[in-house]
Amino acid sequence: MSAQPLLEAEGLVKEYPMGVRALDGASLTVGRGEIVGIMGRSGSGKSTLLHILGCLDRPDAGRVCIDGIEVTRLPDSALPAIRLRRLGFVFQAHNLVPSLTALENVALPLRYLRPRPANPYAQAKAMLEAVGLGDRLHHLPGQLSGGQQQRVAIARALVNSPALVLADEPTGALDSQSARALLRLMRRLCQERGQTFVVVTHDPVVGQVCDRIYHMEDGRVLSTAAG
Protein backbone atom coordinates (compact mmCIF):
# COMPACT_ATOMS: atom_id res chain seq x y z
CA MET A 1 0.00 0.00 0.00
CA SER A 2 1.32 3.44 -0.89
CA ALA A 3 2.22 6.00 1.70
CA GLN A 4 -0.02 8.52 -0.01
CA PRO A 5 -2.82 9.59 2.37
CA LEU A 6 -6.34 8.67 1.37
CA LEU A 7 -7.65 12.17 1.89
CA GLU A 8 -5.79 15.43 1.63
CA ALA A 9 -7.36 18.87 1.87
CA GLU A 10 -5.38 22.06 1.65
CA GLY A 11 -6.26 25.71 2.18
CA LEU A 12 -10.00 25.32 1.80
CA VAL A 13 -11.94 28.57 1.71
CA LYS A 14 -15.68 28.83 1.53
CA GLU A 15 -17.51 32.11 1.77
CA TYR A 16 -21.29 32.37 1.88
CA PRO A 17 -23.20 35.25 0.28
CA MET A 18 -23.73 37.24 3.48
CA GLY A 19 -19.98 37.54 3.99
CA VAL A 20 -19.71 34.55 6.32
CA ARG A 21 -16.39 32.78 5.92
CA ALA A 22 -17.45 29.26 6.83
CA LEU A 23 -14.03 27.94 5.90
CA ASP A 24 -10.95 30.06 6.13
CA GLY A 25 -7.96 28.06 5.01
CA ALA A 26 -8.83 24.67 6.41
CA SER A 27 -6.41 21.81 5.81
CA LEU A 28 -6.31 18.20 6.96
CA THR A 29 -4.88 14.82 6.06
CA VAL A 30 -6.38 11.40 6.72
CA GLY A 31 -4.52 8.13 6.21
CA ARG A 32 -5.99 4.90 4.96
CA GLY A 33 -7.96 2.93 7.54
CA GLU A 34 -8.05 5.78 10.04
CA ILE A 35 -11.06 6.91 11.99
CA VAL A 36 -10.78 10.65 12.31
CA GLY A 37 -13.07 12.90 14.32
CA ILE A 38 -13.76 16.54 13.60
CA MET A 39 -15.00 18.50 16.58
CA GLY A 40 -15.78 22.12 17.12
CA ARG A 41 -18.41 24.58 18.23
CA SER A 42 -21.61 25.00 16.36
CA GLY A 43 -21.02 27.19 13.35
CA SER A 44 -17.31 26.50 13.20
CA GLY A 45 -17.63 25.09 9.67
CA LYS A 46 -17.65 21.33 10.21
CA SER A 47 -20.56 20.51 7.95
CA THR A 48 -19.31 22.87 5.29
CA LEU A 49 -15.96 21.10 5.37
CA LEU A 50 -17.57 17.68 5.18
CA HIS A 51 -19.72 18.69 2.20
CA ILE A 52 -16.65 19.87 0.35
CA LEU A 53 -14.70 16.74 1.21
CA GLY A 54 -17.69 14.74 -0.01
CA CYS A 55 -17.84 16.49 -3.38
CA LEU A 56 -21.30 17.83 -2.59
CA ASP A 57 -20.07 21.40 -2.62
CA ARG A 58 -17.09 23.27 -4.07
CA PRO A 59 -14.63 25.46 -2.19
CA ASP A 60 -13.87 29.01 -3.33
CA ALA A 61 -10.20 28.18 -2.96
CA GLY A 62 -8.03 25.22 -1.99
CA ARG A 63 -7.89 21.65 -3.18
CA VAL A 64 -9.11 18.21 -2.17
CA CYS A 65 -7.51 14.91 -3.15
CA ILE A 66 -9.30 11.62 -2.57
CA ASP A 67 -7.52 8.39 -3.35
CA GLY A 68 -5.04 10.32 -5.46
CA ILE A 69 -7.70 12.11 -7.51
CA GLU A 70 -7.80 15.87 -7.27
CA VAL A 71 -11.58 16.11 -7.13
CA THR A 72 -11.67 19.90 -6.92
CA ARG A 73 -10.46 20.01 -10.52
CA LEU A 74 -13.13 17.67 -11.87
CA PRO A 75 -16.16 19.04 -13.71
CA ASP A 76 -19.56 18.88 -11.97
CA SER A 77 -20.67 16.07 -14.20
CA ALA A 78 -17.90 13.78 -12.90
CA LEU A 79 -18.76 14.23 -9.22
CA PRO A 80 -21.77 11.88 -8.92
CA ALA A 81 -19.56 9.00 -10.09
CA ILE A 82 -16.94 9.88 -7.43
CA ARG A 83 -19.61 9.96 -4.73
CA LEU A 84 -21.08 6.71 -6.01
CA ARG A 85 -17.85 4.70 -6.18
CA ARG A 86 -15.51 6.20 -3.60
CA LEU A 87 -17.62 7.84 -0.92
CA GLY A 88 -20.26 6.91 1.58
CA PHE A 89 -22.37 9.34 3.62
CA VAL A 90 -24.17 9.16 6.94
CA PHE A 91 -26.05 12.22 8.12
CA GLN A 92 -27.51 13.10 11.48
CA ALA A 93 -31.01 11.85 10.76
CA HIS A 94 -33.55 11.31 8.00
CA ASN A 95 -30.94 9.50 5.96
CA LEU A 96 -33.34 7.08 4.37
CA VAL A 97 -35.74 7.30 1.46
CA PRO A 98 -39.08 6.94 3.22
CA SER A 99 -40.82 5.02 0.46
CA LEU A 100 -38.16 2.32 0.30
CA THR A 101 -37.69 -0.61 2.68
CA ALA A 102 -34.44 -1.06 4.63
CA LEU A 103 -33.24 -3.53 2.01
CA GLU A 104 -34.14 -1.24 -0.90
CA ASN A 105 -32.46 1.71 0.80
CA VAL A 106 -29.25 -0.23 1.17
CA ALA A 107 -29.44 -1.48 -2.42
CA LEU A 108 -29.99 2.05 -3.75
CA PRO A 109 -26.33 2.91 -4.50
CA LEU A 110 -25.96 -0.40 -6.31
CA ARG A 111 -28.93 0.48 -8.49
CA TYR A 112 -27.18 3.64 -9.62
CA LEU A 113 -24.01 1.76 -10.57
CA ARG A 114 -23.36 1.11 -14.26
CA PRO A 115 -22.96 -1.67 -15.17
CA ARG A 116 -25.39 -2.91 -12.59
CA PRO A 117 -23.96 -5.42 -10.14
CA ALA A 118 -25.30 -8.93 -10.61
CA ASN A 119 -27.22 -9.30 -7.39
CA PRO A 120 -27.73 -6.00 -5.59
CA TYR A 121 -30.28 -7.32 -3.12
CA ALA A 122 -28.08 -10.19 -1.96
CA GLN A 123 -25.26 -7.71 -1.34
CA ALA A 124 -27.61 -5.34 0.46
CA LYS A 125 -28.95 -8.18 2.61
CA ALA A 126 -25.45 -9.25 3.62
CA MET A 127 -24.66 -5.65 4.56
CA LEU A 128 -27.81 -5.33 6.67
CA GLU A 129 -26.92 -8.56 8.43
CA ALA A 130 -23.48 -7.12 9.14
CA VAL A 131 -25.09 -4.20 10.98
CA GLY A 132 -27.38 -6.60 12.84
CA LEU A 133 -30.60 -5.85 10.99
CA GLY A 134 -31.04 -9.14 9.17
CA ASP A 135 -34.53 -9.37 10.64
CA ARG A 136 -35.67 -5.93 9.49
CA LEU A 137 -35.09 -6.21 5.75
CA HIS A 138 -38.58 -5.31 4.66
CA HIS A 139 -39.37 -2.63 7.18
CA LEU A 140 -39.92 0.90 5.97
CA PRO A 141 -37.86 3.62 7.69
CA GLY A 142 -40.96 4.77 9.55
CA GLN A 143 -41.17 1.33 11.15
CA LEU A 144 -37.58 1.43 12.51
CA SER A 145 -36.15 3.10 15.62
CA GLY A 146 -33.76 6.02 15.24
CA GLY A 147 -30.75 3.84 16.02
CA GLN A 148 -31.88 1.19 13.56
CA GLN A 149 -32.36 3.85 10.89
CA GLN A 150 -28.79 5.01 11.45
CA ARG A 151 -27.53 1.46 11.16
CA VAL A 152 -29.37 1.10 7.86
CA ALA A 153 -27.72 4.34 6.75
CA ILE A 154 -24.31 2.93 7.66
CA ALA A 155 -25.05 -0.26 5.76
CA ARG A 156 -25.98 1.85 2.75
CA ALA A 157 -22.85 4.00 3.07
CA LEU A 158 -20.70 0.85 3.04
CA VAL A 159 -22.51 -1.32 0.52
CA ASN A 160 -20.48 -0.27 -2.50
CA SER A 161 -17.22 -0.51 -0.55
CA PRO A 162 -16.23 3.15 -0.69
CA ALA A 163 -12.72 4.17 0.24
CA LEU A 164 -13.97 6.95 2.49
CA VAL A 165 -17.07 7.22 4.68
CA LEU A 166 -18.12 10.68 5.79
CA ALA A 167 -20.48 11.02 8.73
CA ASP A 168 -22.01 14.26 9.97
CA GLU A 169 -23.12 13.80 13.57
CA PRO A 170 -24.29 10.24 13.00
CA THR A 171 -25.20 9.84 16.67
CA GLY A 172 -26.67 13.31 17.08
CA ALA A 173 -30.25 12.07 17.31
CA LEU A 174 -29.52 9.05 19.50
CA ASP A 175 -29.39 8.46 23.25
CA SER A 176 -25.92 7.83 24.62
CA GLN A 177 -26.30 4.06 24.82
CA SER A 178 -27.43 3.74 21.20
CA ALA A 179 -24.74 6.20 20.21
CA ARG A 180 -22.08 4.05 21.81
CA ALA A 181 -23.41 0.90 20.13
CA LEU A 182 -23.42 2.63 16.77
CA LEU A 183 -19.86 3.81 17.23
CA ARG A 184 -18.64 0.38 18.20
CA LEU A 185 -20.27 -0.92 15.07
CA MET A 186 -18.58 1.70 12.92
CA ARG A 187 -15.24 0.99 14.55
CA ARG A 188 -15.59 -2.75 13.94
CA LEU A 189 -16.65 -2.37 10.30
CA CYS A 190 -13.87 0.06 9.68
CA GLN A 191 -11.29 -2.37 11.03
CA GLU A 192 -12.79 -5.41 9.29
CA ARG A 193 -13.04 -3.75 5.91
CA GLY A 194 -10.04 -1.45 6.04
CA GLN A 195 -12.19 1.57 5.40
CA THR A 196 -11.59 5.16 6.38
CA PHE A 197 -14.06 7.19 8.44
CA VAL A 198 -14.27 10.91 8.95
CA VAL A 199 -16.82 11.70 11.63
CA VAL A 200 -18.06 15.17 12.50
CA THR A 201 -19.34 15.33 16.03
CA HIS A 202 -20.10 17.34 19.16
CA ASP A 203 -20.14 14.20 21.18
CA PRO A 204 -17.09 13.50 23.36
CA VAL A 205 -18.11 9.82 23.39
CA VAL A 206 -17.55 9.75 19.66
CA GLY A 207 -14.17 11.25 20.19
CA GLN A 208 -13.18 8.27 22.33
CA VAL A 209 -13.35 5.81 19.44
CA CYS A 210 -11.44 7.97 16.98
CA ASP A 211 -7.78 7.48 16.14
CA ARG A 212 -7.29 11.21 15.90
CA ILE A 213 -9.37 14.33 16.44
CA TYR A 214 -9.22 17.58 14.53
CA HIS A 215 -10.61 20.66 16.25
CA MET A 216 -12.19 23.44 14.25
CA GLU A 217 -12.68 27.06 15.10
CA ASP A 218 -13.93 29.83 12.85
CA GLY A 219 -13.34 27.93 9.67
CA ARG A 220 -9.86 26.70 10.48
CA VAL A 221 -8.64 23.29 11.49
CA LEU A 222 -6.65 23.94 14.63
CA SER A 223 -5.04 20.90 16.01
CA THR A 224 -4.87 17.21 15.85
CA ALA A 225 -4.79 15.07 18.91
CA ALA A 226 -4.93 11.40 19.58
CA GLY A 227 -8.44 10.21 20.45
Partner 1 sequence: MEILRNLYRRRLRTGLTVLGIAVGILAFTVMGAMAEKFNRLIAGGEAYFANRIAVHSTGGALRLNLLGPEEIEVMKRTPGVRHVETHIMMALDETAGFELAPRFLVGIDLPNFARAQLIGDEAAQLRLARGGWWRPGERQVAVLGSAVAHKMKLDVGDTLHARGRDFRVVGVLQETLSLPDGWALIPEEDAREILFDGSALLREMGLDGAWTNAYALIEPGLGEALTDQLAHSLRRGYLLHSPEQLAKAAGTASSLLNTAILGSGAIAVIVGSLAVINTMFFAVGERTREIGIKKAIGAGRWAILREFLAESVLIGLMGGLLGLGAAAGLIAALNGYAAQEGTPVFLLTPRLAAGALGFATLLGGLAGAWPAWRAANLDPVEALRAI
Ligand X SMILES: Nc1ncnc2c1ncn2[C@@H]1O[C@H](COP(=O)(O)OP(=O)(O)OP(=O)(O)O)[C@@H](O)[C@H]1O
Give the residues lining the site for Mg ion (CB under 5 A). Answer: 47
CB of 103 to partner 1, least distance (A): 12
Binding to ligand X in span 47-86, by CB under 6 A:
47-48
Q: Please classify residue 226 by burial: count the beta carbons closer than 10 Å to its beta carbon, then call 0-12 exposed, 13-18 middle and 19+ buried.
A: exposed
Q: What are the C-alpha distances in Å from 166 to residues 19, 118, 142, 154?
A: 27, 27, 24, 10
CB 193 within 8 A of CB 158: yes
Phi (first) and psi of residue 88, to 5 degrees:
-130, 145
Q: For the window 98-117, what string marks contact with partner 1 as x by the rule CB under 8 A?
A: xxx---x---xx--x-----
The site for ligand X, by CB under 6 A, has a size of 12
Task: Tell which one of 43, 68, 134, 194 touches ligand X (CB under 6 A).
Answer: 43
As beta bridge partners, residue 3 has none
Residue 84 interacts, among partner 1, Mg ion, ligand X, none and using kind-specific CB cut-offs from 5 to 8 Å, with partner 1
**44 is a contact residue toward partner 1 (CB under 8 A):** no
54 binds partner 1 (CB under 8 A): yes
120 vs 207, beta carbon nearer ligand X: 207
How, if at all, do strands 61-66 and 69-70 pair?
antiparallel
CA distances from 16 to 8, 20, 24, 113, 215 (A): 23, 5, 11, 33, 21
Under rule CB under 6 A, residue 112 binds ligand X: no
Q: Is 150 in the site for ligand X (CB under 6 A)?
A: no
Q: Least distance to partner 1 from the beta carbon of 142, Å?
A: 10
Tell me how far, at minimum, the Cβ of 120 lies from Mg ion, in Å: 31
149: contact with ligand X by CB under 6 A: no
Q: Rounded CA gap, 121 and 104, in Å? A: 8
* d(C-alpha 61, C-alpha 82), whole Å: 20
Least separation in angstroms between residue 43's CB and Mg ion is: 8
* Site residues for ligand X per CB under 6 A: 16, 18, 20, 22, 40, 42-48
